[in-house]
Structure 1
Amino acid sequence: MSARDEILARVRRAKGPRGVVAVPREYRAAGTRGPGDPELFAERLRDYRARVRVVDPDEVAETVAAALRDRGARRIVTAPGIPPGWVEGFEVVASTVDVDVLDRVDAVVTACHVAVAETGTIVLDHDAADQGPRALTLVPDHHLVVVRADQVVAGVPDAVAALAGVRTQTWVSGPSATSDIELERVEGVHGPRTLEVVITRAGV
């Protein structure tokens, strides 16, 4: 017996009988936790220091305009599929991936594909017209997202199921932040410093 075989034999003896160990696989699955709770979603967003406004569907345009004005925004960029009425009265820059242009706008306005109540996460589909290319939401300092109540799901498994076939995604949980340096939280290092979310109520 070689030294290698002897070592492996000792390891096998030390490990004992080679019985099959049952591994519990009671993972959460899509649909097991019911519908998403928009109120919990809003609470989680606030935990992340996001700004949250909950409104009726017919109040979206005036709420988006008010949120932009409150931040002093004048020059904005939007995903190409955003209704023009949401940003009426502002200087709107055409959707672009030009970083120099995006760095000079005051805010970006998009919709989303799905939102996760449990984690306060918003997921963008960058092939969708109302969400636009990825650079659009990574460069401007202020990102305003409109989320419908029916887009809010309970947990991550539900979001993954809703994202089937979506090729280019960004998962957003609060404003961009890092604590890499001396565990001090710094916002806006690699994305928007301010995340603002307008949630529309269901059944109105």
Structure 2
Amino acid sequence: MNGQSSRELILGRVRRALRDVPATEQPAGHPVPRDYAEKHGERSHDATVGLLAENLADYRALVHRTDAPGLPALLARLLRERGARRVAVPAGLPAGWLAGADAEFLLDSPDLTARVLDSVDSVITGCALAIAETGTVVLDAGPDQGSRRLTLVPDHHICVVRTGDQVVDSVPQAVRRLSPARPLTWISGPSATSDIELERVEGVHGPRTLEVVLVTGDPREVTGDSREP
């Protein structure tokens, strides 16, 4: 490479490829056509939520359904069945969601290092939205989701999805609603990978267990309810 580093070689090729581009030209001056289909087929909103549940389960996520008043009791039961005693939560998670849960809750903060998060049993968050056609939950570090490390280190993640306004059909619809300026985490099932022999290993770079709670109504208004869903 005549003493050139790989970086210098690549940048040199980029410069040569752009040599005939006017300095005043900007990407916005050449919009990319986005006239492709937004989704595959027509379906009702209930059918879209059903498709989301089906695809989440296909990715080995555990799917639960409840209405908004039943959310606290459901979360308490899931933590109890898991035996979770120390639970990490975003600072903006509605306090009513945790009513009745017998656990120590650790609020997301810089003090929750990876080492500390590795010692917690579970994490509970909301989400930015969920995509039915791909069975994907997207986090954008909103107040009810917390920092990215909050959901990448603990072994068990419970994610709450509002079915009324957070479920979209497709990836194109999701991209239109998401801000590219925010740190986005796209989750399709528990963390998993396969080696050269296609042996599936879970929990490699994220939670080994993902539970998704699909909630009808608006759980942001929940103040706590002890009844089982």
Larger radius of gyration: 1
Identity %: 53
Aligned partner of 1:104 among 115, 119, 141: 119
Match of 2:187 in 1: 172
Superposition deviation, residue 83 in structure 1? 1.6
Match of 1:119 in 2: 134
Match of 1:85 in 2: 96
Match of 1:145 in 2: 159
User: Deviation above 4 Å: which 4+ runs of structure 1?
Assistant: 30-36
Rounded to whole Å, the distance in 2 between the matches of 1:28 and 1:202 is: 30
**Over aligned residues, Cα RMSD in angstroms?**
2.4
- The one-letter code sitting in structure 2 at the alignment partner of 1:138 is L
Which runs of 5 or more residues in structure 2 are unaligned? 1-32, 220-229
Match of 1:129 in 2: 143
Match of 2:170 in 1: 155
Contact 1:178–1:187 (CA under 8 A) maintained in structure 2: yes
Superposition deviation, residue 202 in structure 1? 5.1
Match of 1:5 in 2: none
Rounded to whole Å, the distance in 1 between the matches of 2:34 and 2:66 is: 40
Rounded to whole Å, the distance in 1 between the matches of 2:136 and 2:44 is: 15
Match of 1:59 in 2: 70
Rounded to whole Å, the distance in 2 between the matches of 1:65 and 1:120 is: 25
Superposition deviation, residue 181 in structure 1? 4.0
Aligned length: 180
Rounded to whole Å, the distance in 2 between the matches of 1:109 and 1:25 is: 36
1:174 alignment partner, SS class: coil
- The one-letter code sitting in structure 2 at the alignment partner of 1:191 is G
Which runs of 5 or more residues in structure 1 are unaligned? 1-23
Rounded to whole Å, the distance in 2 between the matches of 1:30 and 1:165 is: 21
TM-score (norm: length of structure 2): 0.73
Rounded to whole Å, the distance in 1 between the matches of 2:144 and 2:42 is: 28
Rounded to whole Å, the distance in 2 between the matches of 1:82 and 1:167 is: 18
Contact 2:68–2:218 (CA under 8 A) maintained in structure 1: no
- Distance change >3 Å, CA 177–CA 197, structure 1 → 2: same
- CA offset digits 1:93-142 (Å, max 9, x no partner): 1213400110000000000001000000000011x110100000000000
TM-score (norm: length of structure 1): 0.81
- The one-letter code sitting in structure 1 at the alignment partner of 2:192 is A
- Distance change >3 Å, CA 92–CA 180, structure 1 → 2: same
- Distance change >3 Å, CA 53–CA 65, structure 1 → 2: same
